[in-house]
Amino acid sequence: MPLAIDVGQRVLVYNPSHGWTVAYFVRAQQTNDNKLQILTCRLSNCHHKPTSQDHYRYPPERVALNDSIGENVNVGTRVLCMPSGDADTSRYIDKPLRGIIAEQPSNNNNQRYLIFADSDAPFYLRSTAIRLLLEPLSNYLSKVDSGTKQYIENYVLTYPKRRLVNVAVKDHINIELNGQWVDAIVSKVDASLMRVFLPVINKHEWLYRGSLRLQPLFNSPSTYEPPCKRFASDKQPTTNDSKCCHFLLIPLNHGWKRQIRNDLGTIVYASPCGQMFTDGERLHAYLYQTNSSLSIRQFTFDMNCRVTQKFLSSTTVYVNLDDYALGKDKVPLMLINEIDSSLPKPFEYTTERIPLTSDIVIDQTNTHGCTCTDGCLDTTKCACWQKIYDGIIQSHYYEDLIGSLKELFGQSTDEDDDRHNNLDEMRFFLYDALSKRNLGYRHGRLLEKIHSGIYECNGKCKCDSRCTNRCVQFGLNTLLQIYHTSEKGWGVRTLYDLPAGTFLSFYSGEILNDADANRRGLEKTMGDVYFTALDFLTSLKPIPLQRKLKAITQKDQSNDETNFYHDNQQQLFSDQISEIQRNENNHTSIEDKTTLSDSNKALLDHQLANYDSGIYVMDAHYKGNVSRFYNHSCSPNVFVQNVFIETWDVRFPWVAFFTATNVKAGTELVWDYSYEVDTVENRVLHCRCGSDECRHRLL
Ligand SMILES: [Zn+2]
Ligand SMILES: [Zn+2]
Ligand SMILES: [Zn+2]
Ligand SMILES: [Zn+2]
């Protein structure tokens, strides 16, 4: 939400000790998705003595503008209501109250705003006594109970449609009081409000005439949410373009609507039957319950993600291919050349991972499935999710996190508990804690790399494609374009905005063992080398010392850096391979013993059981897919995730690419190759990524 506030502007801030006081705005801090997080204000307006001592930081719910609001503020806006007497309000207000605008001024309500106070009865108030709170409604709703959230959300989204009971003074009506229906007598009606007398407690109370505390409204089901018929919630698509359509446009083609509600600070999706959704949780449950053909992956609540805007290439185009993959991927892969009429060097397009020699055997026998019937929604009970969590619990990457969680668990249990029970209890405590941290797929997106790997649900699971733990297995889903960059050879860009955590593609090609990798790498005539390490195994082990790689015979000392992004990856590789092998042989070295925690070791032993310790490499030189075209950047917008699907053979993870941030249409997709400078002697490779954080050297 754009912040309409100037530096030095008078605001009201809330301190628990002083209540609401005047202050002056200094600066605002926003989250990644542009939500207001913290406002710094100073308590005095003394310009000539600027000290930071009277600067304080406030969350947006504790800051309001000092000026009165106008006459046209939207329903759903958060406001601060100032104390006022009978002339301005329907009742006496003795202290500032926070609330939500529920009606705009009109002739019906005598030109006053209706306010739903946060923890008080509703009232009418003139605009002169109302201040704008800088808190978005979504922020407030994230802190209230789900019943209130749903009521307010529904109210704001369907306004001005609403139901009010018709009453007259002296009417009797049943209202809810502490969970009981009690008799009340109407003593006053003021527009949408009424005052009732409750004989049972001998008190008067103001009520909104649409409140669910009124028995007539509580008993009759809402007319604004027609119940959805199973199997009939989605309209048939208006165009038959699900194959070449941007995935975030598919719901819109099925009759869904997506609105950006700046006033609420959220995106609203409306289903064809009129249901409104402002969060992925409810939307996912709805899609699941109505057996919708749509997937939660096709929706985004990211305010900055434009769904309909497509990137347009320049008008001068020398080469323009509709599908460079020739139908081998799920969606077409476009290729464009706006610089000259050249094409990438030919290779075989494949989405498979093909072992080069028959001695490379991927173990397909070691997977297990889960027995979930809820679409794996309860991740703490799903065996596949548990496997992901177990990896996190045992991995050295998460030692700090797991350590502090275990401490929390220790504080919450009795020392005398049965030891065995305790271990099981702790496991579930950790699962529960991890499930709340958005680790792993969240509504079809991966917001954070899981170093210990993702184990997707597979053919042995009871769940189907609507499960929460399937993503990479569906393959390419985004509309990407290979294009000729001016400096870096070929690159890949997205044609539409992509929300953070979107799966792009996985690395396909040939799987080589280290001997073949060495041999291929040394073939001088090869030009570009498209290697990617299957280094999941080594990443499981804590690295005691930074690896120092010795140079091998340098055959290529030329300064031809035209294709430096893929050049000589191999030399680096063979070094890493030999280094890794040394580490492998050194399994019981002192470093290992001191840094490897017991659980870590157990995991490693378990993972390594039955497998050779060979190092494998994916080579996309002769065979590959779009992944071979991603370039390097020192400030990447793409990250790599190791994923296991139909095999849990730790030597052969799928190397999958996900967006690390919200990526705008037309932006190049780049990942960090993560080479270490000076790891190969006599080798200097300059980076031309052009980012502000550029490390300038790749090698
Ligand atoms: Zn499951
Ligand atoms: Zn499963
Ligand atoms: Zn599943
Ligand atoms: Zn760079």
Q: Indicate which ligand has the atom closest to the C-alpha of 635.
A: 4
Compute, in angstroms, the gap from residue 377 CA to the centroid of ligand 3.
8
Question: What CA–CA distance (Å, rounded) separates 38 from 36?
Answer: 6
Ordered structural domains, the chain, with CATH: 10-137 (no CATH), 172-219 (2.30.30.140), 228-308 (3.30.890), 348-358+470-671 (2.170.270.10)
Answer yes or no: are the C-beta atoms of 472 and 667 closer than 8 Å: no
What confidence score (pLDDT) does residue 688 get? 80
Residue of 552, 549, 551, 608 whose CA lies nearest to 579: 549
Taking each helix axis from N to C end, the angle separating 399-412 and 419-435, rounded to the nearest 10 degrees, works out to: 120
Place of tokens 């300064």: 559
The CA–CA distances, whole Å, from 151 to 76, 210, 217, 327, 568 equal 12, 11, 13, 48, 61
Q: Indicate which ligand has the atom closest to the C-alpha of 460.
A: 2
Q: Where are the alpha helices (DSSP H) in 436-568?
A: 514-522, 536-540
DSSP-derived pairing of the beta strands 631-632 and 670-671: parallel
Q: Mean pLDDT per 10-residue run, the chain (699 residues)? A: 75 90 85 68 63 79 92 92 77 89 93 92 92 90 83 85 89 87 92 94 93 79 45 46 77 87 82 82 85 90 90 87 89 92 92 88 86 91 94 88 87 62 84 90 94 94 92 91 90 95 94 84 57 77 44 34 36 39 38 43 56 78 93 93 91 94 94 72 72 81
Locate 540 and state its tokens. Answer: 């499981």
Residue of 483, 507, 485 whose CA lies nearest to 494: 483
The separation between CA 609 and the C-alpha centre of its own chain, rounded to angstroms, equals: 35
Locate 106 and state its tokens. Answer: 């009109």
Residues around the ion ligand 3 (C-beta < 5 A): 376, 457, 461, 463, 467, 469
Compute, in angstroms, the gap from residue 633 CA to the centroid of ligand 4.
5
Compute, in angstroms, the gap from residue 370 CA to the centroid of ligand 1.
5
Compute, in angstroms, the gap from residue 43 CA to the centroid of ligand 4.
44
Answer yes or no: are the C-beta atoms of 117 and 128 closer than 8 Å: no
Compute, in angstroms, the gap from residue 195 CA to the centroid of ligand 2.
55
The helix/strand/coil state of 409 is helix
Answer yes or no: are the C-beta atoms of 301 and 500 closer than 8 Å: no
Q: Indicate which ligand has the atom closest to the C-alpha of 646.
A: 2
Locate 152 and state its tokens. Answer: 């307010």
User: DSSP secondary-structure letter at 71?
Assistant: S
As beta bridge partners, residue 349 has: 624
Residue type, 232: A
Counting Cα atoms < 13 Å in the Cβ hemisphere of 281 gives 6
Q: Indicate which ligand has the atom closest to the C-alpha of 378.
A: 1
Compute, in angstroms, the gap from residue 413 CA to the centroid of ligand 4.
50
Question: What CA–CA distance (Å, rounded) separates 493 from 504?
Answer: 11
Neighbours of 7 (CB within 10 A): 9
Tell the burial category of 56 from Cβ atoms under 10 Å away from its Cβ (0-12, 13-18, 19+): middle
Residue of 455, 427, 390, 426 whose CA lies nearest to 600: 390
What confidence score (pLDDT) does residue 188 get? 93
DSSP-derived pairing of the beta strands 623-624 and 348-349: parallel
Compute, in angstroms, the gap from residue 269 CA to the centroid of ligand 2.
29
Locate 436 and state its tokens. Answer: 């709340």
Place of tokens 């209540």: 19
Compute, in angstroms, the gap from residue 636 CA to the centroid of ligand 4.
9
The helix/strand/coil state of 486 is coil
Q: Peptide bond before 83: cis, by omega within 30 degrees of 0?
A: no
The helix/strand/coil state of 178 is coil
The CA–CA distances, whole Å, from 58 to 99, 532, 572, 603 equal 18, 47, 50, 45
The separation between CA 460 and the C-alpha centre of its own chain, rounded to angstroms, equals: 28
The helix/strand/coil state of 41 is strand
Compute, in angstroms, the gap from residue 389 CA to the centroid of ligand 3.
14
Answer yes or no: are the C-beta atoms of 456 and 645 closer than 8 Å: yes
Q: Indicate which ligand has the atom closest to the C-alpha of 384.
A: 2
Neighbours of 329 (CB within 10 A): 21
* C-alpha torsion sign, points 673, 679, 683, 686: positive
Compute, in angstroms, the gap from residue 637 CA to the centroid of ligand 4.
13
Compute, in angstroms, the gap from residue 477 CA to the centroid of ligand 3.
19
Radius of gyration for the chain, computed over Cα atoms and rounded to the nearest angstrom: 31
Residue of 519, 551, 432, 502 whose CA lies nearest to 656: 502
Compute, in angstroms, the gap from residue 628 CA to the centroid of ligand 1.
32
DSSP-derived pairing of the beta strands 654-659 and 638-644: antiparallel
Compute, in angstroms, the gap from residue 672 CA to the centroid of ligand 4.
9
Residue type, 129: A
What confidence score (pLDDT) does residue 214 get? 87
Counting Cα atoms < 13 Å in the Cβ hemisphere of 319 gives 18
3-state secondary structure 257-275: EEEEECCCCEEEEECCCCC
